[in-house]
Chains A and B, each alone.
Chain A
Amino acid sequence: MRLFLPLVVTFVCGIVMILHFFIPHRPISTIGDGLTDWYMIVASAAIFLGAANLVQVHVHRINTKARNWQYSPVVLIGFLAMMAAGLVWGVEESLPFDYMFQTMVVPMGATMFSLLAFFVASAAFRAFRASNWRATLLLASAFIVMLGRVPIGGMIWKQIPVISEWMMQVPNMAGQRAVMIGAALGVVATSLRMIFGIERSYLGGAD
C-alpha cells in the first residue's frame, strides 16, 4: 500500500494534467483546475515545512556546538524578527517588515551577488588560458562579447557590438537550442517514466 498509493496518485494526476493540456473543456478542465489548486496548497505547506526545518537544523547546531554554530543564532534571530514583524504589523510600506527588508535584506543580498565580480576576475586570471585552439576560440568569443556588452566596445570599434550580437544570435542560439531540446526530451522521458511508475526514486527509496 505504501508503494501502490503514491504510484496511483502520480499516474492519475499525470494523466489528468496531460489531458488538461490537450482538452481545455469540462469536465477535464474542472478536474485540472482542482488539481492545480491542490498543487498550490501543497506547495504553500512546503514553505512551512521549510521554515520548521530551518529552525530545527539551527537549533540542533547550537545545541551540539557544531562547526560555525555562532552564525545560527543570527539566522534564527533574523528569521524570527522578520516573521514577527510581518505577522504583527503586516508587510505594507513604511512598516517594520518593509523597513527591515529595504535596509537589511536588500543591501545584504546585493552585496552577496556583487562578490561574484571579484571571484570572476580572480578565476579568469588564473584559469582562462589559451591552452589549445578550442580554449583560444572561447577566449576570443568572450573578449568580443564582453566588449560588445559595454559602451566602450563601440567606442573602440563600431562593429564590435554588431559582431557580439551576431555571436549571441547565431552560434550561441544554435548551441542553446541543442541544449534546450535535449533537456526537454529528457524531461518528457523522465515524466513519462514517473507517470507509468517505472521511475520511483522520487518516492524516497521505497521500492
Chain B
Amino acid sequence: MRKILEKLDRVDRRVIYLLMALSVFVPLSLRLSYPIPVGEGPSRDLFDAIEAMPSGSVVLVSYDYDPSTMPELQPMAVALTQHMFTRGHRIIAMALWPQGASLSQEAMTAVGDSLGKAQYDDWVNLGYTVGAGVSIVRMGSSIRAVFPQDRDGFPYDSIPLLTRVQSLRDIDLVISLSAGDPGIHAWVMMAGDRFGLPVGGGCTAVSAPEFYTYLGTGQMLGLLGGLKGAADYETMVREGRENAPAGLATPGMAAQSIAHLVIMAFIIIGNISYLVIHKRRKGAPK
C-alpha cells in the first residue's frame, strides 16, 4: 500500500493533465446534464432587479473582458441580453477592455437578431474607451464626450436610442461583466457611489469573492460568479419559457462538476500519500 502511495506521490504531471482533460472532454461529449437549482443569492438578486424594471428601461452593459475569460463571461452576456430584450429593455453596450468591443458586438448581434431587435433603436454598441474610471467620471457629465460615435463610426447624435441619454444619470442600470481591472471596482466606485446608479455585475469565478463586500453593503444589486452564475441566470431566464434557446453555460456545469471532483480526488490522494510518507519519515531512526 505504501509503495503504491509513494508511486502516486511521484506521478507524472502528464497523467494529471490527461485525467483533467478527460474529466472535461467526456461529460461534454456525452452531453451530461445536471439540474441546476437556483436558490436565494446574488444571481437571483440580479435577475429580480432586471425583472422589476419597467419595460423600456435603458441598461448600460460594459464588456470588461477579453477572449481569455470569454468561456465564463460570454454566456452571462448572452443570457442577460436575452432577458433584457424579452423584458423590453434597451441596451447600450460599451467596453473598458479593447477586445470587449468585438465580443459585445457578437453577443448583441446574435441575441438581437434572434429576438427581432433593431440596432440603434433597441441596442447600440459604443465600443471601447480608454481611461477606465476616469472615462466613467466623464460619462457622468456627458457620454457623448467619451463616445462621439459608436463602434461602427455612427455619430452619437444620430442614434435614436441615445437621443434622451446624455449622461449616466439617464441610465437605469449598469452591468459590468468584468475579468479584472478595469471593471466592477471602477463601476461601483464611479457610477454607483458617485452618481448613484444601481450597479450589477458578472465576473470570473476566481474573482467573485472580492465583490461580495459590495453585495453586503448594497453597492451592488447582484452578481453572477463564474460559469455557475451564468448557468444560474440561464436557468432563471428559461423558467416558464418553453421555447427559450439553450444556454452556453448549462452544458458546461456537468464538465465542471466532474473536473472539481477530479481535482478533489487529486488533493485527497496527495494528502494521504503525504501523511503516510511524512509519518514514516518522522518515525524513521536518525
Contacts and interface: CB of A to CB of B under 8 A. Distances in A.
Interface string A113-156: 11001101110111011110000000100110011011111110
Nearest to A147: B260
B173 to A, nearest CB: 22
Contact of B17 (A98, A106, A121, A155): A121
B34 A124 contact: no
A161 B260 CA distance: 14
B146 to A, nearest CB: 7
A101 B16 contact: no
B67 interface: yes
Nearest to B204: A113
- Classify the secondary structure of B's interface with A: helix
Contacts of A122: 13, 16-17
B37 to A, nearest CB: 6
Contacts of A102: 102, 106
B226 to A, nearest CB: 7
B138 A114 contact: no
Contacts of B208: 168
Interface in A154-207: 154-155, 161-162, 165, 168-169, 172-173, 176-177, 179-180
A172 B145 contact: no
B263 interface: yes
A142 B36 CA distance: 21
A106 to B, nearest CB: 4
- Central interface residue in B20, B205, B213, by most chain A CB within 10 Å: B213
A37 B21 CA distance: 48
B255 to A, nearest CB: 10
Interface in A1-43: 21, 29, 33, 36-37, 39-40, 43
A44 interface: yes
- Classify the secondary structure of A's interface with B: helix
Contact of B99 (A105, A139, A165, A168): A105
A131 to B, nearest CB: 8
A93 B145 contact: no
A52 interface: no
Interface string B63-81: 0001111110000000000
A91 interface: yes
B116 interface: no
B270 A126 contact: yes
B11 to A, nearest CB: 8
A110 interface: yes
B89 interface: no
A162 B67 contact: no
A92 to B, nearest CB: 6
Interface string B1-39: 000000000010100110111001000000000111101
Interface string B149-190: 001110000000000000000000000000000000000000
Given A43-B134, A105-B99, 11 more contacts: A109-B67, A109-B68, A109-B99, A110-B68, A113-B71, A147-B260, A150-B228, A151-B37, A152-B260, A172-B212, A179-B210
8 contacts: A91-B101, A91-B102, A109-B68, A122-B13, A124-B263, A146-B264, A149-B226, A151-B35
Interface of B: 11, 13, 16-17, 19-21, 24, 34-37, 39, 41, 66-71, 99, 101-103, 105-106, 109, 129-131, 134-135, 137-138, 141-142, 145-146, 151-153, 194, 205, 208-210, 212-213, 215-216, 225-226, 228, 253-254, 256-264, 266-267, 269-271, 274-275
